[in-house]
């Protein structure tokens, strides 16, 4: 992932030494007043969150998109897909996350010099076209020709005992073997645009993709991102779950 400088530069902190503000006045004139700029900080990008609208949100969306996250359309509306993209970015950059996906000063700063995702697939077994699912980070990263094509937030197996079994996402090496465009109603729930990689386990869209593992074992995707994934990943690609 390349470092990308924000298209609109942040306004710099302006500090003018008072010694350079001296003004020579006539004896009868009132004392000159030095401009009140020393130590003053110009406003930067505003804090935005789920429900926010405007230019700052559009800037955020465009930046995330350039870094291969999937915030949805760059329309200046902070919806659920943008929030999920923010969560994914904050995870990789070691930033705290909130339920509404707040983007404050620390996240804006990190967007200037974002951290690079390090592949979790062992080098000897990496294929140029692959999908990596990180259970620890709750992230999915798609590589196309050994270059990152998509980074997304996910929610995997909850680890709870439910419906007669422990909800666990299988670990190891797999391959995508089946895709179903649209809706599929399964025994354990409804799947949107599923891409199966092992038995009944799939990466699929869901209306509920929380910040914690919550699925029966599949890797859930935010609405909108599931369709991007569906179009991007064909049958036969390597899937590595760690």
**Residues annotated as part of the active site:** 204, 218
Cα distance between residue 94 and residue 117, in whole Å:
12
**Phi-psi group of 125: left, alpha or beta (phi > 0 → left; psi -120 to 50 → alpha; rest → beta):** alpha
Cα distance between residue 9 and residue 20, in whole Å:
27
Cα distance between residue 71 and residue 106, in whole Å:
19
Angle at 150 between CA 144 and CA 153, to 5 degrees: 140
Handedness of CA 72, 77, 80, 85 (dihedral sign): positive
- Contact assessment for residue 224 and residue 204, using Cβ atoms and an 8 Å cutoff: no
């Amino acid at each position: 992932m390349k470092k990308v400088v924000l298209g609109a530069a942040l306004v710099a902190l302006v500090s003018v030494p008072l010694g350079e503000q001296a003004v020579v006045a006539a004896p009868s004139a009132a004392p000159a007043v030095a401009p009140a700029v020393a130590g003053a900080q110009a406003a930067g990008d505003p804090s935005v969150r789920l429900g926010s609208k405007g230019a700052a949100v559009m800037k955020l969306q465009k930046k995330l998109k350039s870094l291969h996250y999937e915030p949805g359309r760059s329309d200046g509306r902070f919806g659920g897909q943008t929030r999920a993209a923010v969560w994914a970015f904050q995870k990789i950059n070691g930033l705290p996350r909130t339920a509404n996906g707040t983007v404050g000063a620390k996240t804006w700063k990190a967007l200037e010099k974002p951290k690079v995702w390090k592949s979790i697939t062992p080098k000897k077994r990496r294929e140029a076209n692959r999908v990596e699912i990180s259970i620890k980070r709750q992230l999915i990263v798609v590589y196309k020709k050994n270059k990152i094509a998509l980074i997304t937030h996910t929610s995997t197996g909850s680890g709870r005992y439910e419906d007669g079994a422990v909800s666990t996402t299988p670990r190891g090496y797999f391959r995508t073997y089946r895709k179903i465009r649209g809706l599929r109603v399964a025994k354990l729930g409804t799947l949107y645009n599923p891409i199966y990689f092992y038995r009944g386990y799939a990466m699929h869209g869901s209306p509920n993709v929380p910040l914690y593992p919550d699925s029966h074992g599949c890797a859930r995707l935010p609405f909108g991102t599931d369709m991007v994934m569906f179009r991007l990943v064909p049958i036969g690609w390597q899937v590595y779950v760690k």
